[in-house]
Amino acid sequence: MTEEILKFISMGGHSFYIWTAYFIPLTLIFSLVITLRSKLKRIKKNETEV
Protein backbone atom coordinates (compact mmCIF):
# COMPACT_ATOMS: atom_id res chain seq x y z
CA MET A 1 0.00 0.00 0.00
CA THR A 2 2.73 2.49 1.02
CA GLU A 3 4.75 1.42 -1.98
CA GLU A 4 1.77 2.11 -4.26
CA ILE A 5 1.34 5.60 -2.79
CA LEU A 6 5.05 6.38 -3.16
CA LYS A 7 4.95 5.13 -6.74
CA PHE A 8 2.00 7.39 -7.45
CA ILE A 9 3.71 10.42 -5.86
CA SER A 10 6.95 9.82 -7.76
CA MET A 11 5.04 9.89 -11.11
CA GLY A 12 7.66 7.79 -12.86
CA GLY A 13 10.47 10.08 -11.71
CA HIS A 14 8.77 13.24 -13.00
CA SER A 15 7.08 14.30 -9.76
CA PHE A 16 8.60 17.81 -9.70
CA TYR A 17 7.27 18.73 -13.17
CA ILE A 18 3.83 17.18 -12.73
CA TRP A 19 3.00 18.30 -9.19
CA THR A 20 4.35 21.84 -9.75
CA ALA A 21 2.31 22.09 -12.98
CA TYR A 22 -0.86 21.30 -11.02
CA PHE A 23 -0.07 23.14 -7.78
CA ILE A 24 0.91 26.64 -9.05
CA PRO A 25 -1.98 27.29 -11.51
CA LEU A 26 -4.64 25.88 -9.16
CA THR A 27 -3.25 27.90 -6.23
CA LEU A 28 -3.29 31.09 -8.31
CA ILE A 29 -6.82 30.62 -9.60
CA PHE A 30 -8.33 29.61 -6.26
CA SER A 31 -6.49 32.47 -4.50
CA LEU A 32 -8.26 34.83 -6.90
CA VAL A 33 -11.59 33.17 -6.07
CA ILE A 34 -10.99 33.54 -2.31
CA THR A 35 -9.89 37.20 -2.68
CA LEU A 36 -12.96 38.07 -4.76
CA ARG A 37 -15.34 36.27 -2.40
CA SER A 38 -13.98 38.14 0.62
CA LYS A 39 -14.13 41.44 -1.29
CA LEU A 40 -17.78 40.81 -2.20
CA LYS A 41 -18.59 39.87 1.37
CA ARG A 42 -16.95 43.09 2.62
CA ILE A 43 -18.87 45.22 0.12
CA LYS A 44 -22.17 43.54 1.04
CA LYS A 45 -21.43 44.22 4.72
CA ASN A 46 -20.66 47.89 3.99
CA GLU A 47 -23.81 48.12 1.85
CA THR A 48 -26.05 46.98 4.71
CA GLU A 49 -24.30 49.40 7.11
CA VAL A 50 -24.87 52.32 4.69
Residues numbered 16-45 forming contacts with another protein, rule: CB under 8 A: 17-18, 20-22, 24-26, 28-29, 32-33, 36-37, 39-40, 42-44
Residue 9 touches another protein, criterion: CB under 8 A: no
**How far apart, in whole angstroms, are the C-alpha atoms of residue 9 and residue 38?**
34
Is residue 30 within 8 Å of residue 22, measured between CB atoms? no
Min dist CB 7 to another protein, Å, is 10
C-alpha dihedral sign at 26, 28, 30, 31: positive
**How far apart, in whole angstroms, are the C-alpha atoms of residue 33 and residue 41?**
12
Residues that bind another protein (CB under 8 A): 11-12, 14, 17-18, 20-22, 24-26, 28-29, 32-33, 36-37, 39-40, 42-44, 46-47, 50
